Amino acid sequence: MRPIEKVGKNFALSLPVMRRLLELYRPIIKFLRKEDPLQPSEAIFVFGSDRTCVAKKAAELLRRMAAPRVLFTGGTGGRFGREIKLAEAEYLRRYALSLHIPQACILTETESSNTEENIRFGLKTLRENGVDLSGQDRTVFGRKPTALTLLLVSLPYQQLRQWATFEWLKKDPSLGIANLQLINCPANYSLKRNSDLKVFMEDVERVLGEVEKILQYRNQHFIWLAVPENVLIAYHQLKELVDRLKRKVF
Protein backbone atom coordinates (compact mmCIF):
# COMPACT_ATOMS: atom_id res chain seq x y z
CA MET A 1 0.00 0.00 0.00
CA ARG A 2 1.45 3.33 -1.06
CA PRO A 3 1.58 5.75 1.89
CA ILE A 4 1.19 8.94 -0.17
CA GLU A 5 -0.40 10.15 -3.39
CA LYS A 6 -0.80 13.42 -5.32
CA VAL A 7 -3.82 15.53 -4.31
CA GLY A 8 -4.04 18.71 -6.38
CA LYS A 9 -0.68 20.47 -6.14
CA ASN A 10 0.35 18.70 -2.95
CA PHE A 11 1.28 15.22 -1.85
CA ALA A 12 -1.01 13.71 0.79
CA LEU A 13 -1.52 10.49 2.64
CA SER A 14 -3.28 7.82 0.58
CA LEU A 15 -6.94 7.29 1.45
CA PRO A 16 -6.45 3.90 3.19
CA VAL A 17 -3.69 5.35 5.37
CA MET A 18 -5.75 8.47 6.05
CA ARG A 19 -8.76 6.41 7.12
CA ARG A 20 -6.65 4.44 9.58
CA LEU A 21 -5.00 7.58 10.91
CA LEU A 22 -8.34 9.31 11.49
CA GLU A 23 -9.75 6.18 13.12
CA LEU A 24 -6.98 6.43 15.72
CA TYR A 25 -7.04 10.24 15.88
CA ARG A 26 -10.75 10.64 16.75
CA PRO A 27 -10.79 9.19 20.27
CA ILE A 28 -7.66 11.17 21.12
CA ILE A 29 -9.01 14.53 19.95
CA LYS A 30 -12.36 13.78 21.64
CA PHE A 31 -10.44 13.42 24.92
CA LEU A 32 -8.21 16.47 24.39
CA ARG A 33 -10.94 18.83 23.19
CA LYS A 34 -12.86 20.41 26.08
CA GLU A 35 -15.77 22.81 25.54
CA ASP A 36 -18.23 24.44 27.93
CA PRO A 37 -21.51 26.37 27.52
CA LEU A 38 -20.79 30.02 26.79
CA GLN A 39 -21.54 32.70 29.39
CA PRO A 40 -20.65 36.41 29.82
CA SER A 41 -17.08 36.79 31.03
CA GLU A 42 -14.50 39.37 32.04
CA ALA A 43 -12.16 38.60 29.15
CA ILE A 44 -11.20 36.15 26.43
CA PHE A 45 -7.87 34.55 27.32
CA VAL A 46 -6.06 33.25 24.22
CA PHE A 47 -3.09 30.94 24.74
CA GLY A 48 -0.01 31.52 22.59
CA SER A 49 -0.26 29.87 19.18
CA ASP A 50 1.06 30.08 15.63
CA ARG A 51 -2.38 29.25 14.20
CA THR A 52 -4.71 32.10 13.29
CA CYS A 53 -7.82 30.05 14.07
CA VAL A 54 -7.49 31.04 17.73
CA ALA A 55 -7.71 34.72 16.75
CA LYS A 56 -10.75 33.91 14.59
CA LYS A 57 -12.42 32.25 17.58
CA ALA A 58 -11.67 35.27 19.77
CA ALA A 59 -13.16 37.57 17.12
CA GLU A 60 -16.28 35.41 16.98
CA LEU A 61 -16.68 35.60 20.77
CA LEU A 62 -16.18 39.37 20.79
CA ARG A 63 -18.85 39.80 18.11
CA ARG A 64 -21.21 37.66 20.19
CA MET A 65 -20.52 40.04 23.11
CA ALA A 66 -19.34 37.17 25.31
CA ALA A 67 -16.66 39.46 26.76
CA PRO A 68 -15.57 43.10 26.30
CA ARG A 69 -11.89 42.37 25.62
CA VAL A 70 -9.43 39.75 24.41
CA LEU A 71 -5.95 39.00 25.74
CA PHE A 72 -3.47 37.36 23.35
CA THR A 73 -0.52 35.70 25.11
CA GLY A 74 2.78 34.30 23.86
CA GLY A 75 6.30 35.54 23.33
CA THR A 76 9.16 34.67 20.98
CA GLY A 77 10.64 31.78 22.93
CA GLY A 78 9.26 28.98 20.76
CA ARG A 79 10.02 27.87 17.24
CA PHE A 80 7.52 30.36 15.82
CA GLY A 81 9.31 33.34 17.35
CA ARG A 82 12.72 32.09 16.29
CA GLU A 83 11.62 31.71 12.68
CA ILE A 84 9.84 35.01 12.09
CA LYS A 85 11.12 37.07 15.05
CA LEU A 86 7.64 38.06 16.19
CA ALA A 87 5.87 37.32 19.44
CA GLU A 88 2.89 35.00 19.06
CA ALA A 89 0.66 37.53 20.82
CA GLU A 90 1.67 40.27 18.38
CA TYR A 91 1.13 37.95 15.40
CA LEU A 92 -2.39 37.16 16.67
CA ARG A 93 -3.10 40.83 17.45
CA ARG A 94 -2.25 41.83 13.86
CA TYR A 95 -4.44 39.07 12.51
CA ALA A 96 -7.32 40.10 14.79
CA LEU A 97 -7.04 43.68 13.50
CA SER A 98 -7.34 42.34 9.95
CA LEU A 99 -10.69 40.86 11.07
CA HIS A 100 -11.79 44.40 12.04
CA ILE A 101 -11.55 43.84 15.79
CA PRO A 102 -11.03 47.27 17.43
CA GLN A 103 -7.58 47.83 18.91
CA ALA A 104 -9.28 49.12 22.07
CA CYS A 105 -10.60 45.59 22.72
CA ILE A 106 -7.17 43.92 22.43
CA LEU A 107 -4.53 43.32 25.10
CA THR A 108 -1.24 41.50 24.56
CA GLU A 109 1.28 39.70 26.74
CA THR A 110 4.51 39.08 24.79
CA GLU A 111 7.01 37.67 27.32
CA SER A 112 5.74 34.15 28.05
CA SER A 113 7.33 31.02 26.61
CA ASN A 114 5.12 28.22 27.96
CA THR A 115 1.59 27.59 29.22
CA GLU A 116 2.28 28.40 32.87
CA GLU A 117 3.89 31.71 31.88
CA ASN A 118 0.97 32.42 29.51
CA ILE A 119 -1.27 32.23 32.56
CA ARG A 120 0.89 34.01 35.15
CA PHE A 121 1.99 36.83 32.86
CA GLY A 122 -1.45 37.03 31.25
CA LEU A 123 -3.21 37.51 34.59
CA LYS A 124 -0.70 40.24 35.46
CA THR A 125 -1.47 41.98 32.14
CA LEU A 126 -5.21 41.81 32.79
CA ARG A 127 -4.80 43.37 36.23
CA GLU A 128 -2.50 46.09 34.90
CA ASN A 129 -5.20 47.00 32.40
CA GLY A 130 -7.93 47.36 34.99
CA VAL A 131 -9.59 43.95 34.76
CA ASP A 132 -11.00 43.20 38.21
CA LEU A 133 -10.23 39.59 39.06
CA SER A 134 -11.56 39.97 42.62
CA GLY A 135 -15.12 39.62 41.38
CA GLN A 136 -16.52 42.58 43.32
CA ASP A 137 -19.07 45.04 41.93
CA ARG A 138 -18.69 44.20 38.28
CA THR A 139 -20.88 43.73 35.24
CA VAL A 140 -20.19 42.50 31.72
CA PHE A 141 -22.13 44.43 29.07
CA GLY A 142 -24.62 45.41 31.78
CA ARG A 143 -25.09 41.81 32.93
CA LYS A 144 -23.76 40.52 36.24
CA PRO A 145 -22.10 37.12 35.71
CA THR A 146 -22.99 34.42 38.23
CA ALA A 147 -19.25 33.90 38.86
CA LEU A 148 -15.95 35.53 38.00
CA THR A 149 -15.11 33.99 34.63
CA LEU A 150 -12.57 33.89 31.81
CA LEU A 151 -13.11 32.36 28.38
CA LEU A 152 -10.16 30.14 27.43
CA VAL A 153 -9.32 29.84 23.73
CA SER A 154 -6.78 27.37 22.40
CA LEU A 155 -6.26 24.82 19.67
CA PRO A 156 -8.67 21.91 20.26
CA TYR A 157 -5.92 19.42 20.99
CA GLN A 158 -4.26 21.75 23.53
CA GLN A 159 -7.45 22.82 25.32
CA LEU A 160 -7.54 20.10 27.99
CA ARG A 161 -3.92 20.47 29.08
CA GLN A 162 -4.02 24.27 29.14
CA TRP A 163 -7.28 24.32 31.09
CA ALA A 164 -5.82 21.76 33.55
CA THR A 165 -2.74 23.93 34.01
CA PHE A 166 -4.96 26.93 34.78
CA GLU A 167 -6.96 24.86 37.28
CA TRP A 168 -3.75 23.73 38.97
CA LEU A 169 -2.49 27.34 39.24
CA LYS A 170 -5.74 28.42 40.91
CA LYS A 171 -4.29 26.77 44.02
CA ASP A 172 -1.46 29.33 44.10
CA PRO A 173 -2.60 31.93 46.68
CA SER A 174 -0.29 34.58 45.21
CA LEU A 175 -2.45 34.68 42.05
CA GLY A 176 -5.69 35.32 43.94
CA ILE A 177 -7.86 33.39 41.46
CA ALA A 178 -9.16 30.54 43.61
CA ASN A 179 -12.78 31.42 42.73
CA LEU A 180 -12.16 32.03 39.03
CA GLN A 181 -14.42 30.03 36.72
CA LEU A 182 -12.83 28.89 33.46
CA ILE A 183 -14.99 28.47 30.35
CA ASN A 184 -13.43 26.42 27.56
CA CYS A 185 -13.97 27.73 24.01
CA PRO A 186 -11.67 25.77 21.66
CA ALA A 187 -10.92 27.20 18.23
CA ASN A 188 -12.31 25.58 15.11
CA TYR A 189 -9.49 23.49 13.70
CA SER A 190 -9.21 20.09 12.05
CA LEU A 191 -6.74 18.01 10.07
CA LYS A 192 -6.86 18.68 6.32
CA ARG A 193 -5.67 15.95 4.00
CA ASN A 194 -4.98 18.36 1.12
CA SER A 195 -2.71 20.62 3.19
CA ASP A 196 1.06 20.49 2.94
CA LEU A 197 2.09 16.96 3.97
CA LYS A 198 4.79 18.10 6.39
CA VAL A 199 2.36 20.51 8.06
CA PHE A 200 -0.24 17.74 8.26
CA MET A 201 2.21 15.32 9.90
CA GLU A 202 3.41 18.07 12.23
CA ASP A 203 -0.17 18.54 13.44
CA VAL A 204 -0.55 14.81 14.07
CA GLU A 205 2.69 14.79 16.05
CA ARG A 206 1.51 17.78 18.07
CA VAL A 207 -1.59 15.80 19.05
CA LEU A 208 0.61 12.89 20.14
CA GLY A 209 2.78 15.35 22.05
CA GLU A 210 -0.23 16.62 23.99
CA VAL A 211 -1.01 13.12 25.24
CA GLU A 212 2.64 12.69 26.21
CA LYS A 213 2.60 15.99 28.14
CA ILE A 214 -0.57 15.05 30.00
CA LEU A 215 0.91 11.66 30.95
CA GLN A 216 4.04 13.44 32.16
CA TYR A 217 2.33 16.33 33.97
CA ARG A 218 -0.32 14.24 35.69
CA ASN A 219 2.44 12.66 37.77
CA GLN A 220 3.39 16.17 38.95
CA HIS A 221 0.22 18.28 38.92
CA PHE A 222 -2.80 16.65 37.27
CA ILE A 223 -3.10 13.52 39.40
CA TRP A 224 -6.89 13.81 39.08
CA LEU A 225 -6.78 13.84 35.24
CA ALA A 226 -7.23 10.23 34.14
CA VAL A 227 -6.45 9.16 30.57
CA PRO A 228 -9.04 6.61 29.34
CA GLU A 229 -7.78 3.20 28.24
CA ASN A 230 -9.13 3.58 24.69
CA VAL A 231 -7.21 6.86 24.34
CA LEU A 232 -3.97 5.24 25.49
CA ILE A 233 -4.42 2.38 23.03
CA ALA A 234 -5.16 4.81 20.16
CA TYR A 235 -2.20 6.94 21.17
CA HIS A 236 0.29 4.05 21.04
CA GLN A 237 -1.08 2.75 17.74
CA LEU A 238 -1.09 6.22 16.15
CA LYS A 239 2.46 6.85 17.33
CA GLU A 240 3.58 3.58 15.75
CA LEU A 241 1.80 4.45 12.49
CA VAL A 242 3.39 7.92 12.38
CA ASP A 243 6.86 6.48 13.03
CA ARG A 244 6.41 4.04 10.12
CA LEU A 245 5.19 6.81 7.82
CA LYS A 246 8.12 9.07 8.70
CA ARG A 247 10.57 6.30 7.81
CA LYS A 248 8.87 5.72 4.44
CA VAL A 249 8.01 9.27 3.42
CA PHE A 250 10.55 11.63 4.96
> How do the domains of the chain map onto residue ranges?
4-33+191-249, 43-184
Q: State the architecture of 43-184 in CATH terms.
A: 3-Layer(aba) Sandwich (3.40)
Using an 8 Å Cβ cutoff, are 113 and 87 in contact?
no
Q: Is the dihedral of CA 228, 38, 130, 100 positive or negative?
A: positive
Q: Rounded mean pLDDT of the chain?
A: 87
Least confident range from 24-38, 120-134, 183-197: namely 183-197
Higher-pLDDT residue of 8, 210: 210
| pLDDT per residue as tens digits for the range 52-110 | 999 999 999 999 999 999 999 999 876 666 677 899 999 999 999 999 999 999 999 99
Using an 8 Å Cβ cutoff, are 131 and 70 in contact?
no
| 8-state DSSP, 143 | B
| pLDDT per residue as tens digits for the range 130-165 | 987 765 545 555 555 556 899 999 999 999 999 999
What is the pLDDT, as a whole number, of residue 226? Answer: 86
pTM exceeds cut of 0.85: yes
CA angle 223, 229, 233 (to 5 degrees): 120
What is the pLDDT, as a whole number, of residue 149? Answer: 92
Q: Would you place residue 200 in the very low, low, confident or very high pLDDT band (cuts 50, 70, 90)?
A: confident
